[in-house]
Amino acid sequence: MPELPEVEVTRRRIAPLLVGRRIAAVATTPPSYVFVTPPGRLRRLLPGRRVEAVDRLGKYLLVRLDDGATLMIHLGMTGQLFSSEARSPRLLSATARASLAPEEQAGFEPDAHTHLVLEIEGKGPDVYFRDVRKFGKLLWLAPGEGHPRLDRLGGDALEIDGPRLFAATRKRKAPIKALLLDQSVLAGVGNIYADEALFLAGVRPGRRAARLTRKEAEVLAREIVKVLRRSIETGGSSISDYVNPDGSDGGYQDERRVYARKGEPCLECRAIIVRRVVAQRSAHYCPVCQS
């Protein structure tokens, strides 16, 4: 599930394929939950535009076009943005994965889940947006047009510091984990990195945010930044469907301390990692190391 590190890695690897190049043609699937802007409109508006830059705001990718317009992309839970040359079992259904050895896999052909195909002018691969569960979003912003989704975003999680996090927790009765997942407070943190950062800071996910001390906020802010940076370095987490634009897996899933390790021993104290629901999300923590 793409969070800030996966979106940032995607941005860094997809930008060289797009920036400075022109979109020759566009194909889409029929209208669905993915298309905030109707697919027919995207097919009309995108061809002929040159990509100037690919930016990131929280978990949003912003493809800046030559006339000032922007294609806004959110990967949701299962969104994949990748090159047409990518090869990965994660781009196949489980049935196809099981029946084909990796060396037998042919090139990826756009399927029913490939909601946007950007054919790029000249040499080089095309770019696909695929999303099985359709929690991702595609949205066109006209030149100068903003969007409430972007306006509501809090500061980027890579830039959080202790005083700002401490201030955000004051008078908040919600669990600290709910606060970390609130994109209007902190843009970019999702379930995996909230659990990991809380473990490293020694704070239980269900603790009321307002009960965090100044010192704990300081440590938590530092661990959030550390864990996000480390994940970017390793190429993000390929826990379910996430795949890098070149088809490679991320590496951070091998460094997880608590996320999706329910029933396994804590790497610090050997106590058993537990899972409970906090803010309607599964939260994993060590009952000994975190208080």
Partner DNA sequence: TCTGTCTCCTGAGAGC
Partner DNA sequence: TGCTCTCAGGAGACAG
Q: Which residues bind DNA (CB under 7 A)?
A: 1, 3, 32-33, 58-59, 74, 76-78, 93-95, 97, 113, 132-135, 149, 152, 171-175, 178-179, 181, 183, 190-192, 209, 260, 275, 279-282
Catalytic: 177? Answer: no
Distance CA 128, CA 185 (A): 31
CB of 171 to DNA, least distance (A): 7
Which one of the listed residues 21, 149, 222, 281 is annotated catalytic?
281
CB of 101 to DNA, least distance (A): 17
Beta bridge partners, 272, equal 265
Catalytic: 281? Answer: yes
CB of 40 to DNA, least distance (A): 18
For the chain, what's the residue count?
Answer: 291
Q: Which is nearer to DNA, 79 or 245 (CB)?
A: 79
Which one of the listed residues 3, 8, 196, 216 is annotated catalytic?
3
Q: Which is nearer to DNA, 160 or 178 (CB)?
A: 178
Q: Which is nearer to DNA, 17 or 175 (CB)?
A: 175
CB of 241 to DNA, least distance (A): 9
Distance CA 177, CA 222 (A): 16
Q: Which is nearer to DNA, 17 or 188 (CB)?
A: 188
Q: Which is nearer to DNA, 49 or 113 (CB)?
A: 113
Which one of the listed residues 49, 59, 64, 137 is annotated catalytic?
59
CB of 264 to DNA, least distance (A): 15
Residues involved in catalysis: 2-3, 59, 281
